[in-house]
Amino acid sequence: MTVNQKARAWSPRPLGPSITTPRASFKRADWLKARKSPAPGLMTRAESAESWLLQRCGRWSSALLSGFSEPFPCCRCSCRRRLLSGIMVCFRLAPVPGCGFLLFCLVLGTVSSYALELNLTDSSKATCLYAKWQMNFTIRYETTDKHNKTVTISDFGAATYNGSVCGDDQNGPKIAVQFGSGFSWIVNFTKEASSTSTYLVDSISFSYDTNDNATFPDAKEKGVFTVNNRVALKIPLNDIFRCNSLSTLEKSDVVQHYWDVHVQAFVQNGTVSTTEFLCDKDKSVTTAMPIVPTTAPSPTKPVVGSYSVVNSNGTCLLATMGLQLNITHDKVASVFNINPNTTNATGSCQPQTALLRLSSSNIKYLDFVFAVKNENRFYLKEVNVSMILVNGSVYSISNTNLSYWDAPLGSSYMCNKEQTVSVSGAFQINTFDLRVQPFSVTEGKYSTAQDCSADDDNFLVPIAVGAALAGVLILVLLAYFIGLKRHHAGYEQF
């Protein structure tokens, strides 16, 4: 069995769009034609080729083009680039034999979130380490004007994996990831000397370089900083470790978040195990944190929480709200409140879009995506949710065509009364004491709010005008009929 065929057999989730025609491939001649044909506008030849590839094969293929001088066929696995370490890099969309020493699969996640997936094979092409996970990092640093800023790192689209090894008799396995400008992340695994049936996730180290002016433009101290965390997590040797829940490591000025983690550092006989070893939080999801089925709304009002997103320029998004989720799954309605004290907030801010992502032990992500319209207003455009239900199944739904919380740019949107965001017929979000500003935040404070009561007033004005006109019409008709009756009575008397 080839490496790719083996990957398809045990991969927990599909690595990309399916290809219905096995022979549909991105030929070298097509690639060379794309590179030689300049694209319109200001695109370079490389960008033109990548754009052409994206149209032919989707974002899964183009995400890995950056930095490689040789072509990668879109719909087949072909190793064209050998790294200095002797490791080859490739990716696949259809099982084709002949891949090299190392297979890396980087899968794009939802709304600028990346799920990293790594499959290491040894010289005999047998899988020796498998890992799939999501993560982000929040770094706090001191600025030149003696203030503290935080920045969230969550884009791993150009990640490399130099230094990742399967391990041998002297050295344990290691996952090494490099991304951005000077960021690196390393996980070390070791076998227990006292046991032949377990191994350890020994340590996790994270390094960042404040000389990167794009990420740390005003950092007081410049240099490379490394944070080492001792983990010592014991895992059965023949099991795959799974932790869908959010896990947090915090040390010094760095907070690391991990979720959707699947890892087996010592793969036996080249086959990844189907027996899962769950983290404690995943175990508690099915025992201590059930979602109680009900057909009536929760009798208690949710606690109001304050959330924010910070980028290199400071706070760029503010949100204050109480949240209540209404889910209908398998004809059973469930209602529960989000506890802000156990909820983590991350996100990103762009000129035309902004993301607030909430996560907790049983909520993998709850995304609120805001957009700018007509260059002068913002609104809630999209909601995505993925969460773990009481039976351990994953409930996911998305709507990218919403229109809620509309307000002018430079202001905030506020609504103290209960509102309902209808994501679908099976999923609604009730909000309480809402205030949100996804753009143009100044000094970390809300701007003047547009109240949702103004929307009500806008509806009341035409209703009042219509009622007044109806009243005048009724009076005119009554006067007409009364006058007509009197006139008719005068004729009869005559």
- CATH code: domain of residue 335: 2.40.160.110
Q: Is 374 within the bounds of a domain?
A: yes
Does the structure show a pLDDT above 70 at 5? no
Distance of CA 343 to the CA centre of its chain: 15
Using the structure block, give the residue that is written with the tokens 């009341």. 460
Q: What is the pTM of this model?
A: 0.44
- For the ranges 256-260, 298-302, 362-366, 430-434, the lowest mean pLDDT is seen at 298-302
- Confidence bin at 210 (pLDDT 50/70/90): very high
Q: Are residues 260 and 339 in the same domain?
A: no
Say if residue 328 is in the same domain as residue 231: no
Q: Are 2 and 124 in contact (CB under 8 A)?
A: no
Cα separation, 102 vs 482, in Å, equals 95
Same domain membership, residue 377 and residue 317: yes
User: For residue 487, is pLDDT > 90?
Assistant: no
**Please, what is the average pLDDT of the chain?**
74
pLDDT band for position 307 (50/70/90)? Answer: very high
Higher pLDDT, residue 437 or 40:
437
What is the DSSP pairing of strand 449-451 with strand 412-415? Answer: parallel
Burial (CB count within 10 angstroms: exposed 0-12, middle 13-18, buried 19+), residue 22: exposed
More confident residue, 371 or 58: 371
Q: Is a pLDDT exceeding 80 seen at residue 23?
A: no
Among 150-159, 195-204, 360-369, the minimum mean pLDDT is found in 150-159
Percent of the chain with pLDDT over 70: 69
The total number of structural domains in the chain stands at 2
Rounded CA-CA distance 312/120 in Å is 35
Q: Residue 447's closest CA among 473, 492, 410?
A: 410
In this model, does residue 22 exceed pLDDT 50?
no
How does pLDDT run across 95-145, given as a tens digit for each residue? Answer: 333 333 333 333 333 334 457 889 999 888 999 999 999 888 889 899 998
Residue 313: which pLDDT band, with cuts at 50, 70 and 90? confident
Angle of helix 28-36 versus helix 45-57 axis, rounded to 10: 140
Are residues 355 and 253 both part of a single domain? Answer: no
User: pLDDT-derived band of residue 21, with 50, 70 and 90 as boundaries?
Assistant: very low
State mean pLDDT over 379-403: 87
In this structure, is residue 492 part of a structural domain? no
Residues paired with 365 in a beta bridge: 386
Beta carbons of 72 and 65 less than 8 angstroms apart: yes
In this structure, the answer to whether residues 320 and 246 fall within a common structural domain is: no
Which of 373, 384, 438 lies closest to 412, judged by CA?
438
Does residue 79 belong to any structural domain of this protein?
Answer: no
Task: Please write the tens of the pLDDT for every residue from 228-247.
Answer: 999 989 999 889 999 988 78
Same domain, residue pair 269 and 217: yes
Q: Which domain holds residue 238?
A: 116-278
Confidence of residue 308 (pLDDT cuts 50, 70, 90): very high
